[in-house]
Amino acid sequence: MGSDRMNTWRSFGAAGGVVLGLAFLTYELRQNSDLMRVQILQARADAAMSSNEQFFNSDYLPKILLKVESDTSLSDEERMRYTAWFRAANRNQDNVLSQYKAGMLGANIPRSVQDFVRDTVASSAQGKSAWDRTKIGYTQDYVDFVEETLVALSQ
């Protein structure tokens, strides 16, 4: 009987060790998730800073965007630059919306992306044209989101 009792205590100790190990693993995973979330937010902030630096250091982008806002026609070179900028900006928003849907970003993201769509796609004929030319390059979720936003803005 002493052997059975010893085995019971060993089993109980082993089960306790497993439970403690799982608790520790859960704690470590939560810390890792929090760290990844912070890294994502930092990467987004770095990308925003880089984008802003490119904008205010650019000799051509502010002039192009002012032309787009005023519906002034663009030269072929300006249209190429605008389209490249437009694609990059929308790819970033596509990524942001995907991160939001994965639960990594805050509740303000849909509103922020809608504001972007209003300001860059819906606000000018050239923005709408660029959207029609480039939307094939984004995720279907993003295309659907933008299209729904455009419909809502037109009402």
- pLDDT tens for residues 2-28? 777 777 888 877 777 777 877 777 878
Round to whole Å and give the CA distance between 44 and 25: 28
CA distance 96 to 103: 11
Q: Report residue 75's pLDDT band, with 50, 70 and 90 as the boundaries.
A: very high
Query: What are the distances in angstroms from CA 90 to CA 30, 80, 82, 117?
Result: 31, 15, 12, 9
Burial 10-48 (b: 16+ CB within 10 A, else e): eeeeeeeeeeeeeeeeeeeeeeeeeeeeeeeeeebeeee
pLDDT of residue 29: 78
Q: Give the predicted TM-score (pTM) of the model.
A: 0.73
Mean pLDDT over each residue of the chain, to the nearest integer:
87
What's residue 1's pLDDT? Answer: 55
